Structures are given as C-alpha cells and as structure tokens.
Structure 1
Amino acid sequence: MRKIVKLAGGLLLAMIITSSCKKENKPLDLNLTPVGSLATPNDNADVKLDPTSSANVLFKWDAATTDDSGLILYQIAFDKEGGDFSKPVTKVLSDGAGVQTQLTISHKDLNKIANAAGIASSSIGKLKWTVIASKGINAKPASASRTLQLERPAGFAENPADLYITGSATEGGADLSKAVKLKKVEDGVFEIYTSLKAGDYYLTDKNTDGGKKYYVENGIIKEGTTAVTVSGDVKAYRLNYDFTSATTKSMQIQSVGLYMSAYGTEIGTLSYIGNGVFEAPKIAVEFYQFSWGRDERYKFILHTAAGNEYQGSTNANNVAPAGQPASYFYLVPVTNSQWDNTYKFDPSADRKNVKVDVMLQPAAYTHKVTVL
C-alpha cells in the first residue's frame, strides 16, 4: 500500500511539473501601441533654470496600450535640438521606477542634461523630448516630440565633490600629490586660507592624475588647463570658489589680532606660518580687574585688505573652557560687539604668557591657547 501511495505521489508531481513547463513555454505577448500624445509641458515652453532651488518640471503623457495586462515601462528621451533620438543625450525612467505616465525632474538635473546637450551656462538653448514605452524587449517611441527652451544660469552643471589647489605658486608646489585641499563650505562652494607666491596655479577635483582642471579668468571659474599666474611677494589669502555661480573671491589676510574685551583692544598679533595656521609664539595676558572679579574674555580680529573682520564663538555668552568639547574653540564670523561671542581664557593664563594658534583648515576653523 505504501508503494502505491509513493507511486501515485510521483505521478502527480510529474503531472504538475509537466503542466508548469507547458505554461512557461507559452509565448509572451509583446504587442504594444506607443504613447499617443504628450500632455505637459507645452511645446516650446520656457524654463528659467534655478538648480540651487527645489523647483521641478513635470512631464506627463497618455498611456501606451497593450493587448493584455502586461507591465509597460516608460522613459523620457532627451536630445539636442534637431536630433532624431537615434543617439539621445540621455534617457530617464518615469516616476514610480518607470511605471507612471509622468516624470518629475528637478531643475538641477535638467541643468545637467542641458549642459550635456551643449547648452552653455548663462545662455538659452533648446532640448527635444519624447517618451519611449517598452514591454519586454519591444520599445516604441511616441510619434510626437516636443521642444523645451531652457535658460541656464551661470555656474557648473556638475559641482566638484572636492577641490584642490596646486602649482608652483602654492604651498604644496607643483607636485600634484601634495595639492592643498580646500574646505567645502556647502555644495559647490569651497574656501581656503593659504599663501601664494610668484608662480602659477590651477584647481582640480583630484590630487591624482585624471581629475578635472579649472582656472580663473576675470573673476570667473572656467574648466580647462590654463594656469593662473601670480606675481610679487608671498602673501596670505582667503580664496573662495563658488561653482554654482562660477564666481571667485580673493582677500588678502594681513594678520590676526587677539582682542581682549575688557580692554577693548588687541593684546597681540598672530602671523601666518603656513597650512592655514596663524600663530603668536608668546603673548602676555593679564585679566582685567572689575569690582566683581577679573575678566578673561577674548575673540579674534582678521585684518584684511578690505578692513577688519571679527571671529568668535557661536555662543553669545560662554563658560570657562575646562571640560568643554572641541566645538567650544570653533571660529565663526561674529560682530564687533565688545562682549558678545567671546571665549574665556583658562584661569591659569592670568599674568602669564600664552602661545596662540588659529587654525583655518578644511577639518575645522578653530584655535588653541597654550599657557607657557
């Protein structure tokens, strides 16, 4: 009896497998009628791109049809003005991983596509677009296409993730592996405190071979291998490069002053020593005697070619430094208020000499006071 049950079970399993195989061998229905019409945006619509915003453009179209309920995927193909979509600039899946009859695309991404299509920054150009519907290996473009007129802002479509400065005029010299890295302030914006001497330099997104190269011409950042020439004596600078607007700023930093609030004046000067560091080897410190006690508050003044800038604490009122985290010593731009956004010397600094370092480096803008 047991053998009969096993034999019957084996026959049943064979029938199920045979039936399953027959179903799998059924030919797929790839019949597809392409997208009939495009809805939005209108033909020749104008879009003024603002890639720094959260603005989007919505593309919509009528659904393609099929003889069964099979899955249809959609892509928008973008091409240059006059293109026939045989070699589109790019294709982008529709919303919902390709199943929805719409695509929401950001101004930032459209700016990249416009750049790839040869539309230069600070100019107006046109893109063609259509929708490709596909079912399996069967892909059919819509019979209709439309044109989108785009106005690109100044700036780069692709901002570098990192930025380095290199060349004979820089602190790292012409050795690319020793290129000096800039601080990334925000997406597309970089800053560095460094010195430049007679020679030349360029910018790059890698400190190895193969990186993109940039240079500055009349205050505008451009991509290319042209070097920037520097003349004159060595000087310390704050250099700022904004790739979102392709603009740059350069400010000479003459010195950094240690400002003591109670005296309302500077009690010492820090000079640039390299690698983004300003230092004073020895400054005499004496707290100011008030009726309620001795005052130990201080902050810093950057003396620039354009005037004075104050650097101090993120806190309007501070406690003593003992036991505080590293962020206590961080430097940010502050007002010239005598008492606000100051730090406090350690009590052991009173009537002593101190060594002061201001480190304006990519890792952090911070400072250190060492009692001698």
Structure 2
Amino acid sequence: MKKIHLFTCLLIMLSVVWSCEEKDNLDPIGNWDLSMAQPTSPAANAVLVLDEDNPTAPLRFEWGPATSSKNYGIRYSLVLVEAGSADLSAPIYRVSSGTNGRDLFATPTARQIDQALSIAGYEAGSTVDLQWGVVARSLDKETVSFQPISITRFLTESAPLDLYLSGPATEQGSTLANAIPMKAFTDPDGNPTSVFEVYTSLKAGETFHFYSQPSEQSLQYGGTNGQLQKDGAGITAPAAGTYRITVDFNTNTYNLLKIDKWSVVGGNIQGGWGGDAPLQYQGNGVWKGTVDLTEPSGFVFRANGDWAYLLKRIKGTTNQLVMESQAGTQGIQFEDIPSTGVGPHVFTLTLSGDEYTYSIEEYTGGGGPAETPEQLFLLAGGEVVAELTKNGDRFTSGRHLALQAGQSYSLNSASDGSGTSYALEGSLGQTDTPNADKVEGSLPFGTGSGAMAVARDQAYRLTVDFASESVSWMYYNIKLFHWDEVGGGWDGRSELLMTYEHPYTFRLSGAQLTAGYHSKFFSPWDVQFGADSPTALSGTMTNGGDNITNITESGLYDVTIEVANDYSIGTYEFVKQ
C-alpha cells in the first residue's frame, strides 16, 4: 500500500513540474519581437535597367535575416511598391523567396518585373521610381523594410508567357478565376514563340478579352479588326459558333477562324479519303461522335472540309495531335492516325490545354437493332412523312425532308407504326453552328419507343445506318451573294444569310442591294442557284444557272426563294421597299 501512495505522489509532482514548464513555453503570442530584414542588394537608390534582349535573366535581390526573440520560424517575401508608399495590400509585385520563403534572396526575371510594371500602368521604356522591400513574417507578426530603387522598363511591351480568355462571350463567362487557358506555342528548342490559340465557342454580340493570368492583377488585351491592343476595348464575337482563336504578339494581332465542323477523314470510313464523318461539339474544346469504321486504316481529323486544316498524330506518342501546318515551326514530326477497329466507334477530339489529344472507343450501344429491317418509315402524327430507301444496312431519305421543331416524329419498320420502333439519343439539328453553310451531325440510335426530336425547322437529308447504329443528318443554309461583277469585286462580295421558313422557303428582309451588281443564291459550294431569266425581279432558278442581273435601282429589297426538295430548281422574288 505504501508503494502505491509513493507512486501516486510521484505522478502528482511530475504533473506540477510539467505544467510549470509548459506555461513558461506558451507565453502569449504578443510577448515576443520580430526585427526587420534589412535590404542589402541592390543598394539604396540603385538604377536597374531591364534587359529586353535577355528577358528570362534572373535579377537577384538580397537581404539580411530578421530575428525572432523566441526563435520562431520566419518567411520572407520581396515586394515592389510606389516610391513613398508602405501599402502592402496591393503591391506592384510580390514573390516569396525560395525554399518555401526561407531563403534570404529572391530572383524574379526581367520579364516578370517588366510585366508587373506594365500591369501597374507604367509605359514601355519609362523609368519608374519605386521602393523594393523585404517582408518578414512569423506567426501573426510581420515587419517590412524598404529602400529606394529606379527601374527602367523594356522599350517595347513584352509578350506574356501565358494567356487566358474571359468575358461574357465565352463559355466560362466573365469570372477571371474561371478564365479559359490558351495553348502556348514553342519553337523546336522549347522557347516561347509568343503565339497562343484556343478552340472554344462564342456568343454572338458579346465581348471577350485576353489576360496574362486568371486574376485581377493581370495584363489585359482587347482590340478591333484583328489588331491587338493592351487595355483595348472588348472584342465582339461576330456570330455564335465555335472558333479557333489565335493571338500573335509578334505582330500584335488576333484571328478568329470559325470551325463549322471537325470530321474524321481517311481509309477507315465510308467513302475513304473522299468521305467525311463529322463530330459534334460538346463544349470546352471537345468534339465527339459515333463513326462507322469500315476497315483498319489510317485517318486524320479535318476542319471545315478543308485540307489546309489537318490534325495528325505526333510521332512517338499514342494519342497527341498537331496541326500539320503548325508542326514545322514547333519542330514536330507527325503521321496519319492509325485505327484498328471495324464497326461503330466513339471518337473524342480534345483541343484544350497545352496538349491536343484524341481517343477511340468501341461503341457498345444500348441494345440496338438486332437486324436491319426490310423497310423504314419516318412518321408524324400517325402519317407517313417519307419511306426511306434501303441500300444494304443503310436507309436514306434521298431528298430533303421539311421537318419542324414543334412536330413529333418517329422511325418505324412499318408504315402504320406497328413495327419495330427506333429511338434517337439526341435531337436532329442540334448544333453549335446552326448558321454554317452546310450543317451536319450524327446521333446514335437503338430499338425503343419515343419521339424523335427536331431542334429547328429545316429541310433535312437523313441517313439511317443500322451497321453503326447512327442517324446522320444534314441541311443547307442559303446566302444571297451580291457583288460588283464589272468592277471585279467578287472578293469584296456581300454574303447575306437568309432565314429558313417551313417548308422549303428562305427569306431576306431589308437587304441593301446596288444597281448593276450581280447576285446568286449559294450554299457554298453545293448549291449555286442562278436565274433562268437573269434580268427579271421574279422567276424560276436552277442550281448552276446564270448570275442574276435584275437590280437596276439601288435600295432596300425583300428577297424570297422557294426550293425543290432536292435543291435542283426553285423560284425567286425581289421586292423593292
């Protein structure tokens, strides 16, 4: 029993000792001091001229250590502020030193300081009187010591190393934290070329800017007519749709290339290298679609049906892509993209970030048709809209079918709707580029009941492929081309988009037309309607007909055309207002 009492007393005594020692070591936070770190180099009143020819050269700022009276850890930051200012809430530049802020020096580059001064509003080539300082921080204490310095900016504005897209016209809106990063190009040695691009969609009539970083402390660029301008006005999106946006700081220009479609083209699809299997834009620089592969073979991704815009695989990679026309300046070797599968496959094209990639996955479907039916009908309200023509596993409409967004349609193997029904995954005509010349898309389908939705009134040509379990659709938009034939003004022509009205009608209201100019109705270049009587204000027209020369008095005109369901012939009318 005595041993137990002795042990208990010993524990009590130790507890008292520990308590006293812990109290001594946990003085209130305020009962200690933090000295200032003293700047040493550059010396006070130094003049620093930033070297534009060596923008990545490190500039070394050094200081002596601060001390904590309790030996708490200290972290350091370099700051630049205006001369005479001690405000650290929004410094011109701030960076922590290396080793998580423990180093007694910081080495920003000439470009980083130059761009910080540019953001602060100082003109290129100007000499700026500033203070550079060292912020020492330990727990909740902070001290700062300054000394004066003069810094001369680059003679010309330097290009940022990174670039972002933001604004109400963009997919991510105006919140800078959500700004869309652009791809930065490099030369064969990995050096920045000051050229950037991004694939994204824009909202018509809204604006956007470019930013050097996704924050308020950023260089901002706007512009007009393709000319880039620091702190310039917001750039207005010309029309809704998907674009490749390119910025070149070497020429201070920007360019918008409208992307009507990305397609799979090659020996692995129907029609081979003469075929075209379009993908659908999903947002955030991603295109996707189901493609029926006919044989293992090479292919490429092609934009807008134009051989000038080809994406091929980077040699030595499994799925990275490069634009063929851009590969040389980057020192990249490329090759056609291989594919090994046969049958329906899902293609995904990702054009975002610094690496462009693709993927191909076998389409598993959703319990698709077990076999190709002998007949296939498009129905609406129990009535036959069209019987599609069979060719192997494919059914085609042949002609263009005038379909309406408010109408409910269905596909069935029997004309009275009593056969097998087929349901689409999506809506016909759903696209981010509704006003392109030739608008195409593809949707997967399978057995099942359900209405076939139509996104917009138009005259659609349909192909239903039971082998790939996909429905392909296409429609034309029509433009009135108006140009000065005598004066050689074809390149300066007006291309006036007409509005489709059900059925098979296109209208244009209040078009400004000029006497003596030629006109023609185009959906470049499949449809080229010319007049059978070129000088008449109304009459018949033929695809491939003569130029229309009926405007003898300049002014505003309402123009209407009606087309046949195969776009071979039609009628037109010009009415002066």
- The answer to whether the superposition gives a TM-score over 0.5 is yes
Cα distance in 1, alignment partners of residues 256 and 90 from structure 2: 37
Which residue number corresponds to residue 267 of structure 1? 274
Which residue number corresponds to residue 334 of structure 1? 324
Q: How far did 1:130 drift?
A: 2.1
Given that 1:73 and 1:98 are in contact with CA atoms closer than 8 Å, whether structure 2 keeps it comes out as yes
Task: Report SS of the residue matched to 1:166.
Answer: coil
Task: Report SS of the residue matched to 1:250.
Answer: strand
Deviations 1:204-254 (A, max 9, x none): 79xxxx9999744243165677352638xx998533246899742334668
Q: How far did 1:301 drift?
A: 5.8
For residue 249 of structure 1, the aligned residue among 251, 255, 269 is 255
Q: 1:333 to 1:147 in 2, by over 3 A?
A: same
Task: Report SS of the residue matched to 2:335.
Answer: coil
TM-score of the aligned structures, taking structure 2 as reference length = 0.40
Read off the aligned partner of 2:97 and give its amino acid letter.
S
For residue 148 of structure 2, the aligned residue among 145, 149, 153 is 145
Task: Report SS of the residue matched to 1:230.
Answer: coil
Which residue number corresponds to residue 321 of structure 1? none
Tell me if 1:131 matches 2:134. Answer: yes
For residue 238 of structure 2, the aligned residue among 230, 248, 270 is 230
Task: Report SS of the residue matched to 1:129.
Answer: strand
Tell me if 1:219 matches 2:223. Answer: no
Superposition pairs of residues 11-30 of structure 1, within 5 angstroms: 11=13, 13-18=15-20, 21=23, 30=33
Which residue number corresponds to residue 105 of structure 1? 108
Greater alpha carbon shift after TM alignment, 361-370 vs 85-94: 361-370
Q: 1:19 to 1:278 in 2, by over 3 A?
A: closer
Cα distance in 2, alignment partners of residues 40 and 17 from structure 1: 49
Which residue number corresponds to residue 81 of structure 2? 79
Q: 1:5 to 1:39 in 2, by over 3 A?
A: same
Q: 1:222 to 1:105 in 2, by over 3 A?
A: closer
Read off the aligned partner of 1:148 and give its amino acid letter.
I
Which residue number corresponds to residue 312 of structure 1? 312
Cα distance in 2, alignment partners of residues 246 and 296 from structure 1: 42
Given that 2:264 and 2:299 are in contact with CA atoms closer than 8 Å, whether structure 1 keeps it comes out as no
For residue 200 of structure 1, the aligned residue among 202, 205, 223 is 205
Tell me if 1:44 matches 2:47. Answer: yes
Q: 1:149 to 1:64 in 2, by over 3 A?
A: farther
Deviations 1:261-293 (A, max 9, x none): 9xxx952467898768699x999x9x9xxxxxx
Cα distance in 2, alignment partners of residues 269 and 195 from structure 1: 25
Cα distance in 1, alignment partners of residues 281 and 62 from structure 2: 56
Q: 1:50 to 1:116 in 2, by over 3 A?
A: farther
Given that 2:163 and 2:184 are in contact with CA atoms closer than 8 Å, whether structure 1 keeps it comes out as no
RCO higher in 1 or 2 (8 Å CA, sep ≥ 6)? 1
For residue 246 of structure 2, the aligned residue among 223, 234, 240 is 240
Cα distance in 2, alignment partners of residues 77 and 142 from structure 1: 10
Read off the aligned partner of 1:185 and give its amino acid letter.
K
Read off the aligned partner of 2:205 and give its amino acid letter.
D
Tell me if 1:191 matches 2:198. Answer: yes
Given that 2:312 and 2:322 are in contact with CA atoms closer than 8 Å, whether structure 1 keeps it comes out as yes
Alignment size in residue pairs: 322
Q: How far did 1:59 drift?
A: 0.8
Deviations 1:110-136 (A, max 9, x none): 45643553336x564534202345677
Q: How far did 1:60 drift?
A: 0.8
Query: Whose radius of gyration is greater, 1 or 2?
Result: 2
Which residue number corresponds to residue 63 of structure 2? 61
Cα distance in 2, alignment partners of residues 278 and 23 from structure 1: 64
Q: 1:158 to 1:84 in 2, by over 3 A?
A: farther
Cα distance in 2, alignment partners of residues 66 and 346 from structure 1: 67
Q: 1:270 to 1:131 in 2, by over 3 A?
A: same
Cα distance in 2, alignment partners of residues 13 and 79 from structure 1: 53
Task: Report SS of the residue matched to 1:114.
Answer: helix
Given that 1:159 and 1:244 are in contact with CA atoms closer than 8 Å, whether structure 2 keeps it comes out as no
Q: 1:163 to 1:50 in 2, by over 3 A?
A: farther
TM-score of the aligned structures, taking structure 1 as reference length = 0.56
Q: Which runs of 5+ in 2 are unaligned?
A: 186-194, 328-333, 363-464, 469-577
Cα distance in 2, alignment partners of residues 22 and 355 from structure 1: 72
Task: Report SS of the residue matched to 1:10.
Answer: helix
Structure 1 vs Structure 2 CA RMSD: 6.0
Q: 1:148 to 1:183 in 2, by over 3 A?
A: closer
Cα distance in 1, alignment partners of residues 202 and 23 from structure 2: 75
Given that 1:50 and 1:107 are in contact with CA atoms closer than 8 Å, whether structure 2 keeps it comes out as no
Given that 1:310 and 1:334 are in contact with CA atoms closer than 8 Å, whether structure 2 keeps it comes out as yes
Cα distance in 2, alignment partners of residues 344 and 135 from structure 1: 58
Given that 1:72 and 1:99 are in contact with CA atoms closer than 8 Å, whether structure 2 keeps it comes out as yes
Cα distance in 2, alignment partners of residues 39 and 130 from structure 1: 11
Which residue number corresponds to residue 574 of structure 2? none
